[in-house]
Homo-oligomer: A and B are copies of this chain.
């Protein structure tokens, strides 16, 4: 079962990645944007912790987003070491559009191709996958 899951994960991620990159914003970038939308502005170290990658990796992603104008860095009011990363209006607008235009492959497929019972099965499995991901 673990094998089947692993193979399936690989296939799925490739597909989601390709679909996500189609509008110029990659999967990692999307993940960071969504984190900022959910949790508000935060630091690179905190983002790295949430995404389970190294700060250096997250910084590369944030740099790409900043170049596109979707996030901005501002100095922390009291701690001179920190830079707070926040969504810009443009970043918020991008996420809004993505939602509005059907979001993406997964949401579309899940509603079109799955019966309510199947959707329920999937909904029950997601927290389990999350636990696997969180180790």
Residues of chain A whose beta carbon lies under 8 Å from any beta carbon of chain B: 1-16, 27-28, 30-31, 34, 51-53, 103-104, 106-107, 109-110, 113-114, 118-119, 121-126, 128-135
Which of A31, A119, A133 has the most B CB atoms < 10 Å from its CB?
A: A133
In the complex with contacts A5-B122, A104-B2, A12-B132 CB distance below 8 A: yes
A31 close to B16 (CB less than 8 A)? no
Residue pair B12, A34 in contact (C-beta under 8 Å): no
List the 9 shortest-distance A-B pairs measured between CB atoms, nearest first: A125-B125, A2-B107, A11-B133, A2-B106, A12-B133, A13-B13, A8-B129, A8-B130, A121-B124
A13 touches B9 (CB 8 A): yes
Q: How far is the CB of A87 from chain B (nearest CB, A)?
A: 16
Closest chain B residue to A31 by CB distance?
A: B10
Chain B residues lying within 8 Å of A114, measured Cβ to Cβ, are 128
What B residues does A125 contact at CB under 8 A?
121-122, 124-125, 128
Can you list 5 residue pairs at the A/B interface with Cβ under 8 Å? A1-B110, A7-B34, A11-B52, A106-B132, A113-B131
Residue in B closest to A18 when the chains form the complex, CB atoms? B52
Shortest beta-carbon distance from A38 to chain B in Å: 10
Q: CB distance B113 to A14 under 8 Å?
A: no
